[in-house]
Homo-oligomer: A and B are copies of this chain.
Amino acid sequence: MKIDAVDFFYLTMPCVTDDVDGSQDALLVRVTAGGQIGWGECEAAPLPSIAAFVCPMSHGACRPVSASVLGQNLDTPEDIRRISAQVAYDSMDLLQAPHTYSGIEMALWDALGRAHDEPVWSLLGYDQSKAKVPYASLLFGDTPQETLERAKKAHSKGYSAFKFGWGPIGRGTVGNDADQFLAAREGIGADALLMVDAGQIFGDDVEAASARLPALELANTLWFEEPFQAGALEAYASLSERGSSVQTAGGEAAHNAHMAEHLMKYGKVGFIQIDCGRVGGIGPAKSIAGSAQSQGVTYVNHTFTSHLALSASLQPYAGLSDHTICEFPASPSKLAVALTTNHLQRDADGMVKAPEAAGLGVEVELARLAPYLVQTEIVVDGKVLYQTPELQ
């Protein structure tokens, strides 16, 4: 089948705050190929991502993403790899391109899976979709008391693993942070898994980050996520070499497989966290998962938005038995909930897995997204390059 159309739907909550809650807006992608439809989601700023699809060509190595996608054949996984390689080469000087293309690539897998009546994880070569432990992903409160309450509330919902991130961490004293870590642990109980996300707050300051390790150890924390800027590989390695029981985690910023590989190889992270909506889609994520497995690094998805993104993010490691932790959006925005008509449910044991249904196994009903649709128009030299499509 031939890729006939790629449509972008820019969606947003009525009020976007400066909380680091990535589910406040969304860029939904629909691919139409030979009568088949596939859905994907970019984890990216919507407007620049749309612009990267429709912009005029600047030169031969700075073409819009559309130039490498529209009109291509889509019959096998190899077609997706070929299209991905063409985007990487022909849009090499268009920085936003991997974020734009990530949602498209997901949608290509979804369309292909639906056409073959096969789940994406099967197209990727896995013989089954294995259950994962979902962890509730939450933001720290402004005070330890607020964190304690959030932790208790989340714990009451039956999760057995929790991650707290951002908020005041790294902005005050080591003691303040310790109080936060211990409040989170207190709220979730002694047996639950606890992870902490520092949101790059320490830049490349290894001493500042390592000063937090004793309290993280005391709170029995599994990983310390993104203490540093995404590219600060040496800082990651230095912190890892402190030999703490708390391993480092990172990778969500990777916008190609190389970046994730280097975070493992040179940054020595214990957990590699990949967002399929940024890294170039499901294909590169699958290759990173394989590489992690061979290096003894644990692969984890990075997902803070919808269950479309969640299903896509589970596919790359669906069949890996030793990689069992899954980030699960525990308090998504109404928009993120509305984005799909069905949702990945936790089973009786509290576990989740990538759907058995064809493609990504989640359905989108455009009509219900009307309250969130952002009317957008981009006009260049009198030509309308982008206009929000009808919700149909």
Neighbouring B residues of A262 by C-beta, 8 Å? 231, 233, 262, 266
**In whole angstroms, what is the CA distance A231 to B92 when docked?**
11
**Does A47 contact B57, Cβ atoms closer than 8 Å?**
no
**In whole angstroms, what is the CA distance A166 to B62 when docked?**
14
- How often does this chain occur in the complex, in copies? 2
Minimum CB–CB distance for A278 against chain B, Å: 8
Neighbouring B residues of A323 by C-beta, 8 Å? none
**Does B381 contact A94, Cβ atoms closer than 8 Å?**
no
Does residue A74 face the partner (Cβ distance < 8 Å to B)?
no
Does residue A21 face the partner (Cβ distance < 8 Å to B)?
yes
Does residue A376 face the partner (Cβ distance < 8 Å to B)?
yes
The bracket for how many chain A residues form the interface is: 35 or more
Does residue A45 face the partner (Cβ distance < 8 Å to B)?
yes
Does residue A12 face the partner (Cβ distance < 8 Å to B)?
yes
Which residues of chain A from 374 to 391 have any CB-CB distance to chain B below 8 Å in the complex?
374-382, 385
Does residue A96 face the partner (Cβ distance < 8 Å to B)?
yes
Minimum CB–CB distance for A231 against chain B, Å: 3
Does residue A255 face the partner (Cβ distance < 8 Å to B)?
yes
Neighbouring B residues of A350 by C-beta, 8 Å? none
The proximity string for A residues 351-392 relative to B, scoring 1 for CB distances below 8 Å and 0 otherwise, is 000000000000000000000001111111110010000000
A48-56, A184-192, A292-300, A310-318 - the one binding chain B: A48-56
Does residue A211 face the partner (Cβ distance < 8 Å to B)?
no
Q: CB < 8 Å: which of B17, B96, B381 contacts A48?
A: B96
**In whole angstroms, what is the CA distance A31 to B231 when docked?**
29
Neighbouring B residues of A94 by C-beta, 8 Å? 44-45, 48
Neighbouring B residues of A60 by C-beta, 8 Å? 17-21, 166
**Does B96 contact A96, Cβ atoms closer than 8 Å?**
yes
Q: CB < 8 Å: which of B51, B85, B95 contacts A255?
A: B95
Q: CB < 8 Å: which of B45, B203, B375 contacts A381?
A: B375
**In whole angstroms, what is the CA distance A385 to B374 when docked?**
13
Neighbouring B residues of A19 by C-beta, 8 Å? 59-60
Which residues of chain A from 51 to 100 have any CB-CB distance to chain B below 8 Å in the complex?
51-52, 54-64, 85, 88-89, 92-96, 98-99
**In whole angstroms, what is the CA distance A56 to B11 when docked?**
12
Cβ contacts A to B, 21 pairs, < 8 Å: A16-B56, A18-B57, A18-B60, A18-B63, A19-B59, A20-B59, A22-B62, A24-B58, A44-B58, A44-B94, A45-B93, A47-B380, A48-B51, A48-B55, A48-B94, A92-B230, A231-B259, A266-B266, A375-B379, A377-B379, A379-B379
Q: Which residues of A contact B (CB under 8 A)?
A: 12, 16-22, 24-25, 43-48, 50-52, 54-64, 85, 88-89, 92-96, 98-99, 166, 199-200, 203, 229-233, 253, 255-256, 258-259, 262, 266, 278, 374-382, 385
